[in-house]
Each structure stands twice: as structure tokens, then as C-alpha cells.
Amino acid sequence: MKDFQFIDSHTHILPAMDDGAKNVEESEQMICSLKEQGIEEIFLTPHYYSHKESIDKFLKRRNKSFQDLKPILDHYDMKYHLGAEVYAIPAIFNYANLSDLCIEETNLILLEMSSPKSDPEHELNLIREIYARHSVEIILAHIDRYPFMLNQKTLKEFVKLDVYMQLNLDFLDAGFFTKQKHLKYIKQGYVQFLGTDCHRITDKQIPKIQKYRLQLAAKLTAEELRSIH
């Protein structure tokens, strides 16, 4: 298998929503670049900070941004699912319903842990509380950004909670030990999603997608590749 398909499960392409695409024109450039490199389906996941904005206000902004972008998504025949990258802080418990933040047509919620320097037990407790209160399934965003996730004992504590995990493709640019560790996690079935986490057209990840795909296809078996969405 020389290549494989996957959903870009983490993007900041919606225009004027966060620190991602500044306008529709930049969004179009990003979509065009993804499409040219074989990405056929994306999750639209702008940042959501519950301590700064109500869910209703966020959804209103997101809908306006999406309506501006939809003709371009349709023009490039890009499949899409609205969602959010939800910052993991206790303020999210101010809301009785998180389902509107889930990836469209699923109960999956993309959760960004609070800090690479955070105490893992703090993050684990927050996830436990989310699961106790809400009927959602969690995807942990870019686990490659959290040094504590390189400790397999710590990672298995998250695995016990039945969370899904997402890697940013540029983990393949990390040092040998880190790269091998994350490849091992894919092989062990701990990682189910890949993403660019692209914010701007200048992001390094976008021009390298095809290179990353070929690297993964060379390092993983066909069965391991099929385990990635």
C-alpha cells in the first residue's frame, strides 16, 4: 500500500472564527491545498473556550462563518463535518448540554487538554467528570503536544477511560524517540484519528501532507492504516 486515505480530523479553516483562517479567501486556499494532496473529508473544529463565550454565542458565530464558507466547500467537493476544539476546563460544566459541540452527526467531542505542563491526573479527573455528566465520546486532540503522554503508563490511564486519540501529522518531524513512540501507539490501536491542525495557509503541515502519508504507509501495515479514520 503506497498511500492511504484519512479524514483531516482537526482544522481551523472556518474563516474569522479563531486564530485560524482570517477570511474566506484564505480558507479557500487551505481547502484547495488539502484537496490537491488527497484530503477528501475534514472536520471543521474552531476553538471553543467556555470561560470566554456561551455555547449559544459560539454556535451563532460558527454558523455565520460556515454559511460564508459552504459554497467553497461545495465547489471543491470537500466533505465536511462541523465541530469544535473544546478547551478542557471546569467552565464547560456551566452548560447542561455539550452535544452541539460534538462533531456533526456523531457524539464525538474533540477535547484539548489544558496544558502540556498539566498534571495528568487533573486531565483524567476532568474527563471522568465529563463522562459522568454527558453522553459524549471524547477525542483527545493532538496528544503529541503533551510530554506526559509519552509515558506509556500514563497513556494507559487515558486508554482505560475509553477515549479516542488524535495525532497531528507533524509528529513525524519530531525526534526519533518521540516519533517511534507515537508510531507504536498507532500500532497498538491507541490512536484513531490524524489531523493537520492547520490554522493558516502558511502552516508547514499543509505542504507536507503527501510526504507524511507516504511515510506512514511505509511504516505501518495495511491493517494498522485501516484503523485510522
Which CATH number does the domain housing residue 107 bear?
3.20.20.140
Q: Say if 10 falls within a structural domain.
A: no
Q: Say if 101 falls within a structural domain.
A: yes
Number of structural domains in the chain: 1
Q: Say if 2 falls within a structural domain.
A: no
Of 155, 139, 196, 154, residue with least CA distance to 20: 196
Under 8 Å between Cβ of 178 and 141:
no
Question: Which pLDDT tens digit goes with each residue over 173-200?
Answer: 999 999 999 999 999 999 999 999 999 9
Burial letters 30-57, b for 16+ CB under 10 A, else e = bbebbeebebeebbbbbbbbbeeeebee
Q: 3 falls in which pLDDT band (50, 70, 90)?
A: low
Asked whether residue 2 carries a pLDDT value surpassing 60, the answer given is no
Looking at residues 210-222, what average pLDDT do you find? Answer: 93
Identify the domain containing residue 77 by its residue range.
24-226
Q: Say if 126 falls within a structural domain.
A: yes
Q: 1 falls in which pLDDT band (50, 70, 90)?
A: very low
Q: Say if 67 falls within a structural domain.
A: yes
Looking at residues 112-138, what average pLDDT do you find? Answer: 96
Q: 59-68, 185-194, 210-219 — which is least confidently predicted?
A: 210-219
Q: Say if 6 falls within a structural domain.
A: no
pTM recorded for the entire structure: 0.96
Question: Which pLDDT tens digit goes with each residue over 69-80?
Answer: 999 999 999 999
- Phi, psi values for residue 118, rounded to 5°: -65, 155
Q: 87 falls in which pLDDT band (50, 70, 90)?
A: very high
Q: Say if 141 falls within a structural domain.
A: yes
Q: Say if 99 falls within a structural domain.
A: yes
Asked whether residue 34 carries a pLDDT value surpassing 50, the answer given is yes
pLDDT at 205 (0 to 100): 83
